[in-house]
Chain A
């Protein structure tokens, strides 16, 4: 028993040492200056104009004084370690945080120069313009057709069946799913593969012709092949939509986005052209993150 114990302790010691080594040169003293973002957070003719945004969950401050512009038809990637607030920030853009009772948003958030959090603003209209794709594929337990047609139906975008058929077909085509499902539009969406489901969710989001599509880690539940298809799709969609994508995969951010924003503990540390972020980041925290020293 004695020897047994000692083996366990000596083994347990091992990773601690490496951990210590690993974090020895970690920029622990790096001071994040609140509200200061290095790089190019601002744009000339932005779709979203976000100034001094703060988000609170009860007493806790999840987003700390962030200012950012998101340009028209650009693909911007939010990266950062878990819990850094990138998803929270994303969900402010179409007020998905509204359903969380303890969540409060401060600051000025504007979409095309109109305040998003104006009490008079209709959240239904906002979400019709700013669509969203979630981390886990979440098709409705209905047919493939009904999934895509649901948005146009509730917004009254199609008056005739043929119009609706057209919208469904074009959305599925844009999502690269048409050829796979055109013969079984009445089949249940829950019977599709994960990748197909996620592309169906994208088709569902773009069926209401939004101006912006928010994607919250859209590929985290998908295998590499399905991921490649979704990324291809993002590249195609970027021609006509503004896309904001939250991702844990830096390769994905590098592949699909024009600009990349790095979040750290609720701060927006750096925003730059994607190539710049991944080749010569300006901030040392960004560098530590993309070289894999933490996160």
Chain B
């Protein structure tokens, strides 16, 4: 009896220690997750705090008298005259309606810097499209000059006003009060390519470039990766060569992505003479980079198919190919898809290899095909983040938000697909 009691005592004491250990371990876990969540919150607050202004555009709405005499334009249908005409003048006239005192050269120059530098192009494009409007008065909405935009968006922060003269600040304040200068959702961001002027720059070119690149990557990497995984798992003989291949695939998954960029530069552009900066080459490079990830996750998915299902099919007399196509592949598909989508998400966020194949160029036009020059989201962010203007800094943060939205939706898609397809099991 005494022995039993002392044994129970020993157990009780060790229990205390054990529980303490477990509590400590649980605390470490919670602390780790807490730190991770906190960093995420800080990251998102910073990006959103800096970037939300990127989603706002500043407009200036003016009643422009399209006076042919002011523009030195008699016939708007004559392209030669259109090239020579002065489209800045009517905008300045329209602004002088509000500030009749601004007449000398300096004042006029400052006045002209309220509207964005593309405002005159807007007037020309309008007259080019509708020459009959010459001589009429039109209410036109222009994008405000970048420095005006920054000043308006950060009205509460004087450090953002340094690029405007005191006179300009007074004018802008008055125009804002009159409702001539207004802010709105920045649809320019989602409808244009890059630009030298932040208020005129959009991310659509980069989004389209990213999508085109991803299409190439997916079309190449998914079938090749899945086929390679099936061959290695199901058909390849177990020997030194397959071992060698396996080791190499695992190594490739760990190779820094910039190496793939060098390879793309040397092989696709150097050897095959493909053009620079195009989505096809970017897609090929990213496909090479994503392949190991897809192969490894697909092999794991195939391995996880229970052998009893294989045996069942073989026992009925299914051939090797039928076993793979009818049973292994459908059961492994959720895992393969998840791996591929995560690989694609990685590729979507990849910058380094694309810098090397020239997708870092300044490209204004939205790409219209796999062989037209393009840039991609992360590279666009890199380009904007490197610019000095406050407008570009805001755009970079806005671009990061767009990229993160894409990444989160891709990962959500992966989770949804896995849940959805696994229900069949």
CB distance from A164 to the nearest CB of B (A): 15
Residue B43 is within 8 A (CB to CB) of chain A in the complex: no
Distance A151 CA – B316 CA, assembled complex (angstroms): 6
Using C-beta atoms within 8 Å of the partner chain, give the interface range for chain A.
20 to 34
Distance A155 CA – B316 CA, assembled complex (angstroms): 9
Chain A residues with CB under 8 A of B56:
none
How many residue pairs bridge A and B at CB < 8 Å?
68
Q: For B312, give its contact among A134, A154, A155 (CB under 8 Å).
A: A134
B311 touches A4 (CB 8 A): no
A138 touches B308 (CB 8 A): yes
A134 touches B314 (CB 8 A): no
- Chain A facing B: main interface SS: helix
Residue A285 is within 8 A (CB to CB) of chain B in the complex: no
Closest residue to A137 on the B side, CB-wise? B308
Distance A124 CA – B306 CA, assembled complex (angstroms): 21
Distance A126 CA – B314 CA, assembled complex (angstroms): 11
Given A134-B308, A138-B309, A190-B425: A127 touches B331 (CB 8 Å cut-off): no
Chain B residues with CB under 8 A of A133:
315
Distance A141 CA – B312 CA, assembled complex (angstroms): 11
Chain B residues with CB under 8 A of A205:
315-316
Residue B80 is within 8 A (CB to CB) of chain A in the complex: no
Chain B residues with CB under 8 A of A208:
316-317
Q: For A154, give its contact among B6, B7, B306, B317 (CB under 8 Å).
A: B317
Chain B residues with CB under 8 A of A134:
308, 311-312, 315
Distance A138 CA – B318 CA, assembled complex (angstroms): 15
Residue A7 is within 8 A (CB to CB) of chain B in the complex: yes
Closest residue to A101 on the B side, CB-wise? B238
Residue B128 is within 8 A (CB to CB) of chain A in the complex: no
Residue B196 is within 8 A (CB to CB) of chain A in the complex: no
Find residues 111-157 in chain A having any chain B CB closer than 8 Å to their own CB.
124-128, 131-134, 136, 138-141, 150-151, 154-155
Given A4-B3, A101-B238: A127 touches B315 (CB 8 Å cut-off): yes
Residue B322 is within 8 A (CB to CB) of chain A in the complex: yes
Residue A162 is within 8 A (CB to CB) of chain B in the complex: no
Q: For B317, give its contact among A7, A101, A127 (CB under 8 Å).
A: A127
Distance A94 CA – B318 CA, assembled complex (angstroms): 13
Q: For B318, give its contact among A4, A136, A141, A154 (CB under 8 Å).
A: A154
A96 touches B238 (CB 8 A): no
- Chain B facing A: main interface SS: helix
Residue A256 is within 8 A (CB to CB) of chain B in the complex: no
CB distance from A123 to the nearest CB of B (A): 8
Distance A190 CA – B310 CA, assembled complex (angstroms): 16
Distance A150 CA – B308 CA, assembled complex (angstroms): 16
CB distance from B268 to the nearest CB of A (A): 40
Closest residue to B312 on the A side, CB-wise? A138
- Would you give the 0/1 interface string for A185-220, flagging 1 where the beta carbon is closer than 8 Å to chain B? 000101000000000010011001000000000000
- Would you give the 0/1 interface string for B297-334, flagging 1 where the beta carbon is closer than 8 Å to chain A? 00000000010111111111111001000110001000
Distance A140 CA – B310 CA, assembled complex (angstroms): 9
- Would you give the 0/1 interface string for A86-125, flagging 1 where the beta carbon is closer than 8 Å to chain B? 0000000010100101000000000000000000000011
Residue A3 is within 8 A (CB to CB) of chain B in the complex: yes
Q: For A151, give its contact among B311, B317, B327, B331 (CB under 8 Å).
A: B317
B7 touches A4 (CB 8 A): yes
Distance A155 CA – B318 CA, assembled complex (angstroms): 8
CB distance from B132 to the nearest CB of A (A): 68
Chain A residues with CB under 8 A of B311:
96, 132, 134, 138
Chain A residues with CB under 8 A of B309:
138, 140-141
A–B Cβ pairs within 8 angstroms, 11 of them: A4-B3, A4-B7, A94-B315, A96-B315, A99-B314, A128-B316, A139-B312, A141-B309, A150-B318, A150-B326, A205-B316
User: Which B residues form the contact surface with A (CB < 8 A)?
Assistant: 3, 6-7, 238, 306, 308-319, 322, 326-327, 331, 424-425
Given A124-B317, A127-B315, A134-B311, list of 9 further CB < 8 A pairs? Answer: A3-B3, A127-B316, A134-B312, A136-B308, A140-B313, A150-B326, A151-B317, A205-B315, A205-B316
